[in-house]
Chain A
Amino acid sequence: MERSSQRLAYGETIVALGAENPNVVVLEADLGKSTMSAMFQEAYPDRYFEMGIAEANMISTAAGLAASGKIAFCSTFAVFASGRAYDQIRQVVAIGKLNVKICGSSSGLSDFGDGSTHQAVEDVAIMSAIPNMTVFTPADADETRRAVRAAVAIDGPVYIRVVRNDMPTYTKGEFVPGKLSELRPGDDAAIVAYGAMIEAAMNAATILETKGISARVINAGTMKPFDTAGIIALSKQVKAIVTAEDHSRIGGLAAQVAFALRQSGTPMDYVAIEDKFGQSAHSVKELMEHYGLTDTAIVNKTMALSR
């Protein structure tokens, strides 16, 4: 299956938006060649602001631009966007409901070489805990394009989580913010996943089929506002739910689904990072395997619930 880049999709979409809307501006903190915001600098240099290696200032400057009527896209690595500039996002952008759209790039373990300091295992949790924030976790490059456009249509701050590496395309059709979407039908169990774990979820569903378990794959393209109602509805249609994410089990999809199922009898389990930091590896595949973020793990958890 052909693989494509969420980062490139981000860069291309903000350039397209730049053509459509003169109020779109883009800010960067020296990572434009990685986040692909550099594409916007090529196209619209007057509306591109290199802020230097100063993420806090970047976000607050974006706030000032947004308060002046601009739609400000900022990007940096997810770990710095959600961590280093957290206070700036919370105190001015979120409380003030400003149109700052933040792309957290190279999220999860996808920056396999750089190690723990560059691997955001808790960014969805952090961003989801902020009121007024929207959190998109697009499944592939195509969904990234739709999510970036959806972000512009939202009045207020949006965090968009993308990964470093190319991935297969599974989504089609409309991206509906705040709603789960079905990628594969199934009746026995449901695997709910986002981002880099969609591929593992789809592979797991194929494997489960050979074992006589019909597994539905659900994409959680929006982590905030989380589609709690969608999970409750899902719980009435399947006998077990397993979540999968390249993120800590704390404050991410596992937590959101468990919360949604709190008054339901449907059993659930999860595949996630067990409250640990990442580390360096020579490939994302071996890193994901090391942290148990695999189709095998999803298969095993699903089978355990299906007995």
Chain B
Amino acid sequence: MQNANEIRLLANKIRRDVVEMIGFKGQVGHLGGSCSSAEIVAALYGSRLRFKHDDPQWDGRDKFIYSKGHAAIAQYAAMAEVGYFPREELWKAKELGAMLQGHPDRLKTPGIEAGTGSLGQGLSIAVGMSLSMKLDGHHDNKVYCIMGDGEMAEGQIWEAAMAAVNYKLDNLVGIVDRNALQATGFIEERFNTNPLGKKWVGFGWHVIEIEGHDVDAILAAFDEAATVKGVPTVIIANTVKGKGISFAENQVSFHNGALTKEQYDIALAELDEKIDAMS
């Protein structure tokens, strides 16, 4: 289990891997949304998720659903870092026949619990997993589900939100990666899903709002969620899309974009500087 500093380092290693996965040969990748959730994903794989990287089906494990499946590359990077599969797989992502698909694939990638990619479904899947844990008496286990703030427009999120409260799923922790941008622009301008906190409170969830790149705050939020009984918890993490890469921060173009060689080099240099400072 990693400490806060190690998690910060892991988050930047995830970002660096994401940049390298996208490359500079014209391939597009969901850079923005992967960078915004890097600390959260790092905190999960580095510290809070109970799992065995060499036994992905271990029945004592926690479950993690990346509902905003387009940002899967962040999850893949984290999974490589903790040993689910060799790092070499990262560079083959999205190639024909690759283990790592454009959106998470349960059959092709070890450690992926369920396919996501059609937005709005991950929380429901998490509900099913939480129900199963309670049925089987796995009372120490948790299900985590990262969703996007654009994804909040999907009605099914709210179906799942109601179900989670009806079934008192206090072993379920939702996280909204609130980076304020969707594919076509700023959420507040395109289709406003705010105020988020009030909506989740209205649906009966315990709500924690944090700065989503503050590792201490993330860990404290997970700690708080663990004390909540009888209702599920959602952590609304205020993040920056493209965080950690100067030219990508808050840029719509990097929802799903390609990098020039120049941008690629700048990104790696910035991230290497951060990684070196933390190592």
Residues on A close to B: CB < 8 A?
Answer: 25, 46-47, 49, 51-52, 54, 56-57, 59-70, 72, 87-88, 91-92, 95-98
Q: Is A64 touching B107 in the complex (CB atoms < 8 A)?
A: no
Chain B residues, CB < 8 A from A66: 128
Q: Which of B106, B131, B132, B166 contacts A96 (CB 8 A)?
A: B106
Chain B residues, CB < 8 A from A97: 107
> Which B residue sits closest to A50, measured CB to CB?
B166
Complex Cα spacing A95 to B113, Å: 13
- What are 7 A-B contacts defined by CB distance under 8 Å? A52-B166, A54-B163, A57-B160, A61-B131, A67-B129, A68-B132, A70-B135
> Which A residue sits closest to B122, measured CB to CB?
A60
Q: Is A64 touching B135 in the complex (CB atoms < 8 A)?
A: no
Q: Is A64 touching B162 in the complex (CB atoms < 8 A)?
A: no
Complex Cα spacing A96 to B106, Å: 6
Q: Is B106 touching A67 in the complex (CB atoms < 8 A)?
A: yes
Complex Cα spacing A156 to B234, Å: 32
- Whole-angstrom distance from the CB of B137 to the nearest CB of chain A? 11
Chain B residues, CB < 8 A from A92: 114-116, 118, 121, 125
Report whether over half of chain A's contact residues are helix, strand or loop; otherwise say mixed.
helix
Chain B residues, CB < 8 A from A72: 128
- Whole-angstrom distance from the CB of A55 to the nearest CB of chain B? 9
With A52-B166, A97-B107: A64-B115 Cβ-Cβ less than 8 Å: no
Complex Cα spacing A109 to B241, Å: 50
Report whether over half of chain B's contact residues are helix, strand or loop; otherwise say mixed.
helix
Q: Is B107 touching A63 in the complex (CB atoms < 8 A)?
A: no
Complex Cα spacing A64 to B135, Å: 13
Complex Cα spacing A228 to B114, Å: 33
Q: Is A57 touching B129 in the complex (CB atoms < 8 A)?
A: no
Chain A residues, CB < 8 A from B129: 64-65, 67-68
Q: Is A57 touching B132 in the complex (CB atoms < 8 A)?
A: no
With A65-B129, A67-B113, A95-B105: A52-B163 Cβ-Cβ less than 8 Å: yes
Q: Is B132 touching A65 in the complex (CB atoms < 8 A)?
A: yes
Chain B residues, CB < 8 A from A65: 128-129, 131-132
- Whole-angstrom distance from the CB of B171 to the nearest CB of chain A? 12
> Which A residue sits closest to B167, measured CB to CB?
A49
Q: Is B125 touching A67 in the complex (CB atoms < 8 A)?
A: yes
- Whole-angstrom distance from the CB of A52 to the nearest CB of chain B? 7
B179 close to A (CB within 8 Å) = no
- Whole-angstrom distance from the CB of A180 to the nearest CB of chain B? 30
Complex Cα spacing A66 to B123, Å: 15
Q: Is A63 touching B167 in the complex (CB atoms < 8 A)?
A: no
Q: Is A57 touching B127 in the complex (CB atoms < 8 A)?
A: yes
